[in-house]
Amino acid sequence: MNGRIFDVWPTDKIGRQSSERYLAKWLAYHNVSHCYFPSVAYLMCCGAAGHCYKNACFRMQVEPALGLLTRTAKGPPTLHASGKYPKEVASALLHAAALQHPKAQLHLVTRSFAYAGYAHSTLNHGPDHVAVALPTKVHARLRLSRDIKRVRQVLGPLSYNYTLLADGYYAAQPQEHPSPIIASSTSLVCGRPTYRASPWEDAWAFHISQHPAWRNERECPKLCSGSCSLDNTVRNDSNRLSLWLSLAAERSSRGVQQRAWQEDETMSSFTTTCGNATILAPIEPLAGALRHPYHNCIKHSSYSGSKEYLIPALALEVLPLPRRTFLFDCGASLHKSGSGGASQEWFVRTYRQSGLAFTHILAWEFTHHSDEEILRPLPAALRQGTSIYRDPNTTVSGHDKLSYFNFGIDSTPTSLRNPLVHLSSLAKPEDFVVFKLDIDTPAIELSIVQQILADPHGVGRLIDEFYWEHVVVNTPMQNFGWRHDLRRVPPRERQTLRDSYRFFRELREMGIRAHSWV
């Protein structure tokens, strides 16, 4: 909190509100998206000796898994659960019992109920709600069981959250008074994210396409030299830079401020529609030299490797909720070291904090390392699930937490050294995939990018977030590490920032959150 909540919800009122209402007010103020989930807990009884808003105790009989498990002749003794609120007890037992089934799953589904109370109705209801999905036969048996009839009597007409589904992705059928169990054959359809470039990004794209600095290095060897007037251009945008970097910092620390960036023309964005839910997510604009905006023009070389300008996705912005998350890291170095910094560690930490911790990591590194060098810096949990491969003709099943390929990649479309081949065989559209490309070999990198752009309905649809350091001429980065890489590119084949802007815009317009990497 930053204190501004008191401007719309005075201190004296906060002192007389429940924690639930206070939290709802805070979420509404910051416009933070949220969704409901099946409750599996309830408040304990509060007797006369307790300090409670309401003294109450409801006692409910607990049958063995509420009809989900086969009863034996002798069976376990009858148990009881006691809690403060009847609906909390009944719904918690229902959901907990359903989740005991080995094939039970949690699915993101379309809402079919009205939110109860003013506090709930004012919130930003983002990705609908989460419900329990069961195999059809189990669902049918449970629906007719004596236990469910008893639970229904307790729950009565419901306003939200008490839902069970049949197997598959289903949307709840519209009902005036939804029952605890809802089944529907309507699939939850999610569209590909659509990109909107901000007016500021459009202005920068036009500026770079017209300015001679990007076409002729001799006319302007440095991006921010006075003769090119770009130094003044960047400095005059100080307010926009402040908004951009503040938003990036807030998101990385889990404090999401939505309203400020939506009311400005600085940040670009992606819009995702899933069922009747729509998510608007910011992304850093394509501006300047496509690095940290302070680099060279304002604070020179100290920001050449900074990643603080990047705005990765947050879990609450990803629809549908992914079951698996992949990182394809081309140019991985070691977990805590590398020529451009500890990128592998940065990705693991950043996406864990955003709620999208990787279930599988595939990493490629050309430089030879011993097994000890690769394994030693890894966190213990990741180290135990790591396999190291040195044979280029290797296929992986996706069971490793980390598959480390200690050899260089190849851009030949059918080669097992091409990461896109592994991506196509392992990932599915419902997975969340992050792809980083930085192997210091411009020709191979460009070929990989062109393959992605040429296949928007195949491999291009599998990638959600993409990081790429596009090495080009006529930028300050020629003095910060790129000169060596450019020697590998024939002069006539060298590209400029105009090409970078074009590639990143095309990737974003395909629905990929494409970032210029360091």
CB 358 within 8 A of CB 426: no
pLDDT digits 0-9 by tens, 386-411: 999 999 888 887 789 999 999 999 99
Determine which helix (DSSP H) or strand (DSSP E) holds 374, and give its type and residue range: helix 371-375
Average pLDDT across the chain, whole number:
76
Whole-number pLDDT of residue 208 = 83
Whole-number pLDDT of residue 142 = 67
Contacts of 99 (CB under 8 A, 6+ apart): 38, 40, 132
For the chain, helix, strand, coil in percent to 5 are: 35, 15, 50
**What average pLDDT does range 27-56 have in this prediction?**
69
Whole-number pLDDT of residue 407 = 96
Lowest mean pLDDT among 35-39, 191-195, 289-293: 35-39
Instruction: Specify which residues 62 forms β-bridges with.
Output: 79
pLDDT digits 0-9 by tens, 218-248: 444 444 444 344 545 666 678 888 889 989 9
**What average pLDDT does range 343-358 have in this prediction?**
91
For residue 101, give the amino acid letter: H
- CA dihedral over 401, 281, 6, 240, signed as positive or negative: positive
Rounded Cα–Cα distance for residues 61 and 80 (Å): 4
The answer, yes or no, to whether residue 457 has pLDDT greater than 70, is yes
Rounded Cα–Cα distance for residues 223 and 172 (Å): 55
Q: How many CB atoms lie within 10 A of CB 470?
A: 22
> Which carries the bigger pLDDT value, residue 293 or residue 299?
293
Q: How many CB atoms lie within 10 A of CB 80?
A: 9
The candidate with the shortest Cα–Cα distance to 39, out of 85, 91, 90, is: 91
Rounded Cα–Cα distance for residues 465 and 5 (Å): 33
Rounded Cα–Cα distance for residues 352 and 314 (Å): 10
- 174-183, 198-207, 448-457, 490-499, range with greatest mean pLDDT: 448-457
Strand ranges of the sheet holding 465-468, from the earlier edge strand across to the other edge: 386-389, 402-405, 360-364, 325-330, 432-437, 465-468, 513-516
Whole-number pLDDT of residue 165 = 54
C-alpha of 27 from chain center:
19
CB 409 within 8 A of CB 418: yes
Instruction: Assign 462 a pLDDT band (cuts: 50, 70, 90).
Output: very high
The answer, yes or no, to whether residue 212 has pLDDT greater than 60, is no
Whole-number pLDDT of residue 16 = 58
Q: How many CB atoms lie within 10 A of CB 214?
A: 26
Strands 58-62 vs 34-36: parallel, antiparallel or unpaired:
unpaired
Distance of CA 426 to CAs 45, 106, 257, Å?
49, 22, 35
- CA dihedral over 23, 27, 30, 32, signed as positive or negative: positive
CB 182 within 8 A of CB 198: no
> Which carries the bigger pLDDT value, residue 182 or residue 16?
16
Return the axis-axis angle of helices 442-453 and 419-426, rounded to nearest 10°.
Answer: 30
**What average pLDDT does range 249-255 have in this prediction?**
73
The answer, yes or no, to whether residue 201 has pLDDT greater than 80, is yes
Rounded Cα–Cα distance for residues 8 and 122 (Å): 14
CB 154 within 8 A of CB 306: no
pLDDT digits 0-9 by tens, 413-423: 999 999 999 99
The candidate with the shortest Cα–Cα distance to 30, out of 352, 261, 246, is: 261
Instruction: Specify which residues 82 forms β-bridges with.
Output: 59
Residue ranges per structural domain of the chain: 31-165, 319-463
Return the axis-axis angle of helices 497-509 and 199-210, rounded to nearest 10°.
Answer: 150
The candidate with the shortest Cα–Cα distance to 171, out of 91, 94, 98, 112, is: 112
Q: What are phi and psi of 191, to 5 degrees?
A: -85, 165
Rounded Cα–Cα distance for residues 395 and 392 (Å): 9
Q: What is the three-class DSSP state of 354?
A: coil
For residue 59, give the amino acid letter: R
Rounded Cα–Cα distance for residues 195 and 269 (Å): 6
Strands 79-83 vs 58-62: parallel, antiparallel or unpaired:
antiparallel
The answer, yes or no, to whether residue 132 has pLDDT greater than 80, is no
Question: Tokens 């910051």 appear where?
Answer: 30
Report H helices in 76-135: 86-99, 117-121
Rounded Cα–Cα distance for residues 101 and 167 (Å): 12
